Amino acid sequence: MFCLFYNAQTKKIEAMNGSGRASMNSTLEAVRKDLGLKDGDSGKIPLESIHAVTVPGAAAGWVDTVQRFGSGKLSLEQILAPAIELAEKGFPVSEIASNMVSISRSPVLLTNASSVENT
């Protein structure tokens, strides 16, 4: 979740990054060791690695955005009510969107679930 906010009073643009972050135990040293990388070696994190997954930060980003940039005229509950209704009742999606979600599901989340719980 990224936000660019233009403040008409100050005529300035502000930015907020509410994207996910790594788990507390995902230090550079631990990740390099897990991937078999020695100090000084370059490498990349494979997409199917558990280390390619981040902790979702969108919900906290929404709260931060409302607190930092909101007018104060609406509560967070009022702002999120339409999204909550869509989540509870569902909404139609195109066939292509459905297929993209289906094929993007990663087996990493299933095969490495136990290692995530221990970090």
The mean per-residue pLDDT over the stretch 35-46 comes to: 90
Residues 27-50 have a mean pLDDT of: 89
Question: Confidence class of residue 16 from pLDDT cuts 50, 70 and 90?
Answer: very high
pLDDT at 117 over 70: no
Query: For all residues of the chain together, what is the average pLDDT?
Result: 85
Map out the domains of the chain as residue ranges. Answer: 2-117
Whole-angstrom distance, CA of residue 89 vs CA of residue 85: 6
Distance, CA of 34 to CA of 54 (rounded, Å): 16
pLDDT of residue 116: 47
